[in-house]
A and B are shown apart, each in its own frame.
Chain A
């Protein structure tokens, strides 16, 4: 039993789940009805109007209503939104035991101790039917979920099924109901609205509960005879099927589980029992110490049950609903029902892989809990709680995706948990001895290792490492070194989620998440009030997780927040950008699109990626008080400034970030004294006198303003201030100003006006204004004050300020990085950001320079060292061979205790030797390094005698045939022969032919290059390419006979080009022999070339002949050229012009050795035509024709074979030999 929620209260007699919201109603023996939110664990409301115990309570399926019935004989219908009882249905004459709404009609069924069942219409608020027949208390009555049936249980020891079909037919309108009520009373004892269909007798004592199966025609009942009975019914009768015995006291309630083949019952024996409904055996018993159970309720939609007992109630479920899953690359492997399935994220394809063993249904909660997958071996470990923890190892056959229903025989074992720790190794926890067994795929123990802490589960922690969980801590344990790599105190960890780079790990506990690095160094802890369900890392290093109710994020610094709310719990498996993939409780993969803007923004701020921050601010509508508060709290008031519309907040933020211009802007809009004052203070701090002045003006703070003018030396304004003071009759202010200004006369005047004549007099006389002094003395008469003797007075004038115009040197306000980009106006001194120092721009330059300098130095030093070594080695190399021979024999004489027994095996045959033995292909011999046999083969097959062009090819083949493996340190490297045509299924130890560095496709590429060069007229370059092809072909190996023909074709093609190009090059050398030139040009046209090349050759020949006035021949070429339908209009036009010119004068100026009417082949050496019927010899390799005189010479075209020699023909494929 997995308890989800528990309450403590008075005895709970009635329970009802809300169908949509996470609410449950509990009616208590004390008369109160409680409304709980079982997910949040809070009491939402309480309804206290019943007098005495409330035994029955029920939510309406769709309306905000519930019904309750109690010992006060009242049925009350409540509206929970209005928090009040809407009305009361009266009629029962004794305690009411149960009440229930009908699923579609506006009906309520109630069972009462008055022996009756009543059906009410809650819209008309009337009783529409009274079902009589029981002759004792009716303990329960309920509607059938679909059909027009009611089942009831009574202390008269019977269960009755009532047919209410007639009632439904009659229900049309409320008016009818009233009519029927009178009717009903008339046929009270033989009513036709509701008739007893079956009476089920079998219990020996009073029956407390009976309920229908949600889909099948079954009824289950529980009675005071401590038995649970199952009944079956059909259209005509009903009978007892079986009895479930086990309860030790009265069975109080019993029901079918809606989604599983299970019966749940509870009893006054303080237990809840779970039964298998088909096998009719007890599966599990849950007991309470002191509390008798009274009532059960099942959630209509999800897998939840509730039970009420003496001191409260519990909400629980019987089985875990989290599907076991494991992530690997792009795929998710998970268990659904009894199949292992794979879900591919990129294609969203879901495939069924293999069936797995169904957990025995004799106990609950034995389904797979965790899954571990090894991608290379395609093996899956399925762990479950069977036998106190066990695992099964399946290997998914690669080809049987989706088919097969046979459960393969899995390898099994017992162990707390099992995870793959390497490609072909998995670790199994053996709790009893607190050690892990490392096993291979054959389920054999490879190694045992004791664990450092008392471990109750192990998780994957990177190859070869395990994360061991104890009650209060986790450690990462290296299985090979047997050392603890890191440990961390945690609350009980349930799930472990690694980031993709394995650098960070999230440890999920029931109510908290701890983020740590791979050494388990703590980074941050999050606490949730409700259960944490799952999580995954996104690509940016943000941890996205789900709780029961929300999808949330957690930034690397521990900041977290909500992304989305959830209706039902889901299990996140993977995150791709804005898409979260998760598994729901039905084992379905669901993508959820989220808005990641908020956390990406925060992450960017955190990482100081201000460029991203800026672009996000500019582009997206990201605002709200929360964001502003966040920015302010994180020390980014200047960023927050750009979100805020409210002027006051804006002003505050501007002041906080020292942005005086923005503050001024806002202050102007707000225009309040307080704000001006604060602006003034900040401006003064920064030294922005203009704004200080402005602020003082706005606040009408004249004294400050005066002082401000004084210290800024603004005497004009100061005197204005004095005038203002005078106007305002502010004598003191006026006097101050006069004092500041050093205006003695003014001062005297003020003093005089204020009636301080003695002071005025003194002032005047001290400052030598004797006329005034005298006048005042006159006014004073006798009272002229005496002045101290012997002192010299001087006028004190304030020193003039160092800076009297404009602002003071401004305080450097740390301007954010944003201002430049965001502020249209801000273009001041932007260079010296203080903050930018650790941001990721600007810094790069300095560091980069330093680095490169250091690196440079180091590598130079290194190079020096190396040069030394190399020199030494090189110097010594020559000597090596000389020194060795004398030693070579000695070792054999030394005998040793060890060696006397041991006889070293004789060396085996090198792979290259095997190649040579097997092959008659020259290329393979060359690759093996047997050049002489390779040459013999070539000479025999193709008559090749000139091998010098092949030298580099031979060496390349040989060098490319082996790779080099540094094996044991300081020991000589192993060279490994590379074989051709590897496939995964090739059997080992069977030597394949050598891999060759030349292949046919390379030649085709080269051919294209050659064509291109020809088109471009780069004849010598083209010739080089074609010759290279011709030289490589003898060393080509292809697989099929078809390819052999292609190779042979290639020889002919290339040969023609080589011959043609050779002639053309020759022609260009012969500048002074126009006849020979024409002949060669003409012969060139007879080589078989690609059409564009043919055209070029024809055009060429045509031009040459035309120039030499051999018009008839030129016309012939022109005609031929036109026959090829040249796409180039220039070519065609010239050809036509040549034809026209030739027709006028159809003759040749010189005689050529060229008769195009008589078929001929060219001699490859002398470049003369060999007409049909004339004798010739050919090259055995390239099959170029030669005049007989060339017999025995090296072929001029391929430069390899001897003309006219015997040869067996090209052998370039093993298929030719077979």
Chain B
């Protein structure tokens, strides 16, 4: 990415909005004049990925036709993959096929999408196979996340260091270091909080940022503060699954009833990790009762 290059970066605002979860703002401000053809493709990718993040999968599937560039096709696959469980198989087999194709297999967006899809599949090895080589900040950031999901913060830290060498002030670098800081905990929590705080001062406040701050607060044991932040996030988007999930956790710690949020979450995103946790917990409790008895 345009880390080292001089001169203004026309897509900067768009990218920042996208990374920080201001998807609608990213879509609304995507009309940027004087873009080179490559930048147009990147812009379109970001816009369509914003739509995906907002859940408008069908729009993306319909709008990207077969003549579009490879990156856009990859984005379409992601939309397909996320749109419905029955499409997952097709999406996965297509992406495998494409990755084999030497002509396009190295496209960073394609690899990124592959990484995202395989991470969803919890096949981290396969995901890393395509993403570890890096090449873009996004790929590095995804690597950080995958390593964190594998509980390998040491590897995540290495990735982060690579990112910092490329551009320490890049939005993704900052975000990734916040993720890592949260994962390793301890005094780093405060640093993560400061990173989110910086974002909230610098840019539009999104539920992603508020959630980030709230998570930091919870880790610091400041649940009251976290609740305020989360309620603010809920005001922005009443159906955001992370907000709801974190509210459940926060309410539990505050000794308040969490069932409303949990039910909302189950409605909004039944396959959310917390919803799953709740149901598996019940099962495993019953199992354990049998085992112990």
Alpha-carbon gap, A655 to B142, bound state (A): 75
Are A423 and B145 also in contact (CB < 8 A) when A970-B49, A973-B242, A986-B185 are?
no
29 A-B pairs with C-beta separation under 8 A: A423-B198, A463-B198, A482-B9, A866-B268, A873-B84, A873-B270, A876-B85, A877-B270, A880-B85, A887-B121, A898-B132, A898-B133, A904-B125, A935-B288, A959-B248, A960-B253, A963-B214, A964-B246, A964-B249, A965-B211, A968-B141, A968-B142, A968-B145, A970-B53, A973-B242, A973-B273, A974-B149, A976-B182, A982-B185
Does A82 lie at the interface of the complex (its beta carbon under 8 Å from any beta carbon of B)?
no
Pairwise interchain contact A970-B145, C-beta atoms closer than 8 A: no
Are A974 and B145 also in contact (CB < 8 A) when A955-B285, A963-B215 are?
yes
| Sample of 8 further A-B pairs with CB below 8 A, known A440-B168, A907-B150, A965-B211 | A446-B169, A463-B201, A869-B55, A932-B291, A970-B116, A988-B187, A988-B188, A1002-B255
* Chain A, 473-487, CB within 8 A of any chain B CB: 480-483
* Chain A, 416-464, CB within 8 A of any chain B CB: 422-423, 425, 438, 440, 446-447, 449-450, 462-464
By a CB distance below 8 angstroms, the chain A residues around B187 are 984-988
Pairwise interchain contact B151-A909, C-beta atoms closer than 8 A: yes
Pairwise interchain contact B145-A464, C-beta atoms closer than 8 A: no
Binds B, one of A167-175, A990-998, A1182-1190: A990-998
Pairwise interchain contact B189-A982, C-beta atoms closer than 8 A: yes
Pairwise interchain contact B116-A968, C-beta atoms closer than 8 A: yes
Pairwise interchain contact A954-B246, C-beta atoms closer than 8 A: no
- A728 smallest CB distance to B (angstroms): 82
Pairwise interchain contact B252-A967, C-beta atoms closer than 8 A: no
Question: Which residue numbers of B lie inside 8 Å of A, CB to CB?
Answer: 6-9, 12-13, 18-19, 21, 23, 49, 52-53, 55, 78, 82, 84-86, 88-89, 92, 96, 99-100, 105, 115-116, 118-121, 123-126, 128-130, 132-133, 138, 141-142, 144-145, 147-153, 155, 167-169, 175, 179, 181-190, 194, 197-198, 201-202, 208, 211-212, 214-215, 218-221, 239, 242, 245-246, 248-249, 252-253, 255, 258, 267-274, 277-278, 281-282, 284-285, 287-289, 291-293
Alpha-carbon gap, A890 to B92, bound state (A): 11
Does A899 lie at the interface of the complex (its beta carbon under 8 Å from any beta carbon of B)?
yes
Pairwise interchain contact B287-A932, C-beta atoms closer than 8 A: yes
**Residue with the greatest number of chain B CB neighbours at <10 A, chosen from A449, A954, A970, A976:** A970
Does A782 lie at the interface of the complex (its beta carbon under 8 Å from any beta carbon of B)?
no
Pairwise interchain contact A947-B183, C-beta atoms closer than 8 A: no
Pairwise interchain contact B21-A966, C-beta atoms closer than 8 A: yes
By a CB distance below 8 angstroms, the chain A residues around B248 are 959
Alpha-carbon gap, A891 to B129, bound state (A): 10
By a CB distance below 8 angstroms, the chain B residues around A464 are 202
Pairwise interchain contact A891-B155, C-beta atoms closer than 8 A: no
Pairwise interchain contact B186-A972, C-beta atoms closer than 8 A: no
Our count of residue pairs bridging A and B at CB distance below 8 angstroms stands at: 280
Does A399 lie at the interface of the complex (its beta carbon under 8 Å from any beta carbon of B)?
no
Pairwise interchain contact B186-A989, C-beta atoms closer than 8 A: yes
Pairwise interchain contact A939-B185, C-beta atoms closer than 8 A: no
* Interface residue from B7, B184, B221 paired with A995 (Cβ < 8 Å): B221
* Interface residue from A910, A967, A984, A990 paired with B151 (Cβ < 8 Å): A910
Does A62 lie at the interface of the complex (its beta carbon under 8 Å from any beta carbon of B)?
no
By a CB distance below 8 angstroms, the chain A residues around B271 are 873, 877, 880
* Interface residue from B78, B86, B186, B274 paired with A970 (Cβ < 8 Å): B78
By a CB distance below 8 angstroms, the chain B residues around A482 are 6-9
- A86 smallest CB distance to B (angstroms): 68
- A602 smallest CB distance to B (angstroms): 32
Alpha-carbon gap, A585 to B151, bound state (A): 58
Pairwise interchain contact A965-B201, C-beta atoms closer than 8 A: no
Question: Which residue numbers of A lie inside 8 Å of B, CB to CB?
Answer: 376, 422-423, 425, 438, 440, 446-447, 449-450, 462-464, 480-483, 866, 869-870, 872-874, 876-877, 879-880, 883-884, 887-888, 890-892, 894, 896-899, 902, 904-905, 907-911, 929, 931-932, 934-936, 939, 945, 947-948, 951, 954-956, 958-960, 962-982, 984-992, 995, 997, 1002
Pairwise interchain contact A936-B292, C-beta atoms closer than 8 A: yes
By a CB distance below 8 angstroms, the chain B residues around A978 are 218-219, 249
By a CB distance below 8 angstroms, the chain A residues around B133 are 898, 902
Pairwise interchain contact B285-A954, C-beta atoms closer than 8 A: yes
Give the nearest-CB partner of B254 in chain A. A997
By a CB distance below 8 angstroms, the chain A residues around B281 are 929, 931, 954-955, 958-959
- B212 smallest CB distance to A (angstroms): 7
Alpha-carbon gap, A1112 to B141, bound state (A): 84
Alpha-carbon gap, A911 to B198, bound state (A): 28
Give the nearest-CB partner of B292 in chain A. A935
* Interface residue from B18, B144, B152 paired with A907 (Cβ < 8 Å): B152
By a CB distance below 8 angstroms, the chain B residues around A932 are 284, 287-288, 291-292
- B224 smallest CB distance to A (angstroms): 14
Are A960 and B255 also in contact (CB < 8 A) when A463-B201, A967-B145 are?
no
By a CB distance below 8 angstroms, the chain A residues around B52 are 970
Alpha-carbon gap, A673 to B193, bound state (A): 78
Pairwise interchain contact B221-A908, C-beta atoms closer than 8 A: no
Alpha-carbon gap, A141 to B105, bound state (A): 97
Pairwise interchain contact B130-A975, C-beta atoms closer than 8 A: no
By a CB distance below 8 angstroms, the chain A residues around B246 are 963-964
Pairwise interchain contact A866-B239, C-beta atoms closer than 8 A: yes
Are A931 and B132 also in contact (CB < 8 A) when A450-B6, A959-B248, A971-B145 are?
no
Pairwise interchain contact B8-A483, C-beta atoms closer than 8 A: yes
- B254 smallest CB distance to A (angstroms): 9
By a CB distance below 8 angstroms, the chain A residues around B129 are 896, 898-899, 902, 904
* Interface residue from A440, A874, A888, A964 paired with B245 (Cβ < 8 Å): A964
By a CB distance below 8 angstroms, the chain B residues around A891 are 96, 118, 123, 125-126
By a CB distance below 8 angstroms, the chain A residues around B12 are 480-481, 483
- B145 smallest CB distance to A (angstroms): 5
Give the nearest-CB partner of A965 in chain B. B215
Alpha-carbon gap, A807 to B35, bound state (A): 71
Are A908 and B287 also in contact (CB < 8 A) when A896-B130, A965-B242 are?
no
By a CB distance below 8 angstroms, the chain A residues around B221 are 980-982, 995
Pairwise interchain contact A971-B292, C-beta atoms closer than 8 A: no
By a CB distance below 8 angstroms, the chain A residues around B189 are 982
* Interface residue from B21, B151, B270 paired with A908 (Cβ < 8 Å): B151
**Interface pairs A-B: 8 shortest CB-CB:** A908-B151, A899-B129, A988-B186, A932-B288, A960-B252, A986-B186, A931-B288, A481-B12
Pairwise interchain contact B128-A967, C-beta atoms closer than 8 A: no
* Interface residue from A423, A883, A951 paired with B85 (Cβ < 8 Å): A883
Are A907 and B124 also in contact (CB < 8 A) when A896-B130, A968-B116, A989-B184 are?
yes
Pairwise interchain contact A883-B186, C-beta atoms closer than 8 A: no
Pairwise interchain contact B49-A969, C-beta atoms closer than 8 A: yes
By a CB distance below 8 angstroms, the chain B residues around A992 are 185-186
Pairwise interchain contact A989-B153, C-beta atoms closer than 8 A: yes
- A428 smallest CB distance to B (angstroms): 15
* Interface residue from A446, A873, A956, A969 paired with B18 (Cβ < 8 Å): A969
Pairwise interchain contact A902-B128, C-beta atoms closer than 8 A: yes
* Interface residue from A956, A964, A990 paired with B273 (Cβ < 8 Å): A964
Alpha-carbon gap, A897 to B273, bound state (A): 34
- A880 smallest CB distance to B (angstroms): 4
- A940 smallest CB distance to B (angstroms): 10
By a CB distance below 8 angstroms, the chain A residues around B84 are 872-873, 876
Pairwise interchain contact A904-B132, C-beta atoms closer than 8 A: yes
- B156 smallest CB distance to A (angstroms): 10
By a CB distance below 8 angstroms, the chain A residues around B126 are 891-892
- A134 smallest CB distance to B (angstroms): 74
Pairwise interchain contact A976-B287, C-beta atoms closer than 8 A: no
Alpha-carbon gap, A959 to B181, bound state (A): 22
Pairwise interchain contact B292-A990, C-beta atoms closer than 8 A: no
By a CB distance below 8 angstroms, the chain A residues around B168 are 440, 446-447
* Interface residue from B116, B190, B277 paired with A984 (Cβ < 8 Å): B190
Alpha-carbon gap, A788 to B59, bound state (A): 97
**Residue with the greatest number of chain A CB neighbours at <10 A, chosen from B89, B221, B288:** B288
* Interface residue from B105, B150, B185, B215 paired with A991 (Cβ < 8 Å): B185
